[in-house]
Amino acid sequence: MWRILVILALIASLTGLLMSAFADQESRTIELSAPRALRAGESIELQVATGPLPRGSRLVVMTEQGEILGVVTPFNVPGTERGATATIPVPRTAMSDGRLRLRLQVIEQGAVPRAARPDEFQATLVIVAE
């Protein structure tokens, strides 16, 4: 009995690793530039607006290295095409030479994560006084 449990656990962990590796590949990479260099007492935030997304889906915003910065979950009203907006703080360490490279992924219920299409999001960097 314990052998069966060990085998099932091994299969489950391998499946998780494969799905994770596949999900990492299925993302859109974009690069945004800060409007100007940050000054003392300022931080940078990412403003994200989604287009219409399938019901129950969410837009995952990650750094190029895969660190999740935030998740945008639209609450669509039936019959409307509006998405959601969100403001996500960006750590200074994620910026390089005033640029931010992001990976965007849409996760739908019961589906494999996929790259966000250009009509599903708009993203802008904004400088904020702390």
Q: What is the pLDDT of residue 17?
A: 41
Percentage of the chain beyond pLDDT 70 is 75
pLDDT band of residue 54 (cuts 50, 70, 90) is confident
pLDDT at residue 64 tops 80: yes
pLDDT at residue 68 tops 60: yes
Give all strands (DSSP E) within the chain, no chain letters.
28-33, 42-50, 58-63, 68-72, 85-90, 99-107, 114-115, 121-129
Q: What is the mean pLDDT of the chain?
A: 81
